[in-house]
Amino acid sequence: MRTQVGIVGAGPAGLVLGELLARAGIEAVIVERHDRPYIEERIRAGVIEHWAAALLDELGLGARLRREGLAHHGIELRFAGRGHRIDFPSLTGGKEVVVYGQHEVVKDVVAARLAADRPLLFEVSDTRVEGIETDRPVIRFVHEGEEVELSCDFITGCDGFHGICRPAIPAGVLTAYDRVYPFGWLGILAEAPPSSEELIYAWSERGFALASMRSPTITRLYVQCPPDDDVAAWSDDRIWDELHRRLAAPGFSLTEGPVLQKSITAMRSFVVEPMRHGRLFLAGDAAHIVPPTGAKGMNLALADVLVLSRALEAFYQDGGTAGLDTYSDTCLRRIWKAQRFSWWMTSMLHLFEDDSAFDRRRQLAELDYVTSSTAAATALAENYVGLPFD
């Protein structure tokens, strides 16, 4: 088998890259380890930045997102028993975000790709990449019992944090920057109407909580928990009790409903540099992870593949490699700013085990500042809706 760009992984990065390349007339084959229902049902991110929603529109993938997604014009920061709203349009020249599940984006792109008969192979196993330092790199894998050799001009590692592409880069090439946080998030999906029209990020004496949503009838809620906690230790009653306590504010009542899904995510910040070796390009979680506070992960994955698609398009137009050569630096500038923002939101809102009374007072002062100074609120808002792209 032969293609121009071999894409490992059908997460948001790999799937959207496939569409961007198709629009530019570049052939690609996507190989995915899991089956279609698995990737279409895995509950993860939920907030799409302004420019990213516009990109999906441009690719003809935004119809359901605009119909069923929820346009949000602000968030609430809740602390010391009171809510404070950050208004996005007035602080960012009219921008908003769209609350729409990552798995819904995945469903929309998979449907478009299969309808257009573009190659997307599910349930591949034993994936390996070879010859990345040559101009004929190869992806080998097993599909439907057969060993396949896919010869490519370029390989893109869109295979997430636990993928095989990053480890295929020879030792000594990459530098990794890593921070592990001493907590995780227990997330639930519940069949209950959202308790508030907008997302609530809550600081509390008991730790962080986040009230989000997926639709007018489904809520998505998170509570800070120990990083190695067992989901089994969290009965539905315990989760609701904790949410009630952490989100408490006068006049607020949290709607409960059957819990449809529960999971715990550990939190870390991670970046490798550079994001390219030879003809292998890393994009999305394969190259970087942000803690989820601030909702940057999927958006960064989309930003990477937009930069990469432009570089590949220029290469196929006239052989120019300038875009490919600057891919890593261009992406890393945005990534480090998103790392900073996610770290800042995380540090401001969570309870750290070694926090002193001084640290907790400082967090409250920071929240007070962000919600009372237009300059500080603008900094939060412009990062939240997505920094300007070019």
Any idea which residues carry the catalytic annotation?
72, 201, 292, 296, 384
Which one of ligand DHB, ligand FAD, none is in contact with 159 (Cβ closer than 5 to 8 A by kind)?
ligand FAD
Which one of ligand FAD, ligand DHB, none is in contact with 13 (Cβ closer than 5 to 8 A by kind)?
ligand FAD
CA distance linking residue 231 with residue 261, whole number of Å: 11
Q: How many CA atoms lie within 13 A of 17 on its CB side?
A: 37
Contact present, 228 and 182 (Cβ < 8 Å): no
Stretch 72-101 residues interacting with ligand FAD (CB under 6 A): none
Nearer to ligand FAD, 247 or 283 (CB): 283
Selected from 293, 309, 328, 330, the binder of ligand DHB by CB under 6 A is: 293
Nearer to ligand DHB, 198 or 273 (CB): 198
Nearer to ligand DHB, 137 or 294 (CB): 294
Nearer to ligand FAD, 25 or 182 (CB): 182
Please list the residues that pair with 82 across neighbouring strands.
79
Closest-approach residue to ligand DHB (CB)? 46
Selected from 73, 95, 220, 246, the binder of ligand DHB by CB under 6 A is: 220
Indicate the angle between helix axes 374-384 and 357-372, nearest 10 degrees: 90
CA distance linking residue 197 with residue 75, whole number of Å: 9
- Stretch of residues binding ligand DHB (CB under 6 A), selected from 39-47, 223-231, 238-246, 355-363: 39-47
Tokens of 189: 């999906």
Contact present, 215 and 261 (Cβ < 8 Å): no
- Stretch of residues binding ligand DHB (CB under 6 A), selected from 254-262, 289-297, 306-314, 349-357: 289-297
Render 212-257 in DSSP notation, one character per residue.
Answer: EEEETTEEEEEEEE-TT--GGG--HHHHHHHHHHHH--TT--PPP-
Using the rule CB under 6 A, is 298 a contact of ligand DHB? Answer: no
The phi-psi region of residue 295 (left if phi > 0; otherwise alpha if psi is between -120 and 50; otherwise beta) is left
Q: How far is the CB of 64 from ligand FAD (least distance, A)?
A: 18
Tokens of 30: 């996507």
Nearer to ligand DHB, 269 or 293 (CB): 293
Count of residues that interact with ligand DHB, criterion CB under 6 A: 11
Residue ranges in contact with ligand DHB by CB under 6 A: 45-47, 199, 210, 212, 220, 292-295
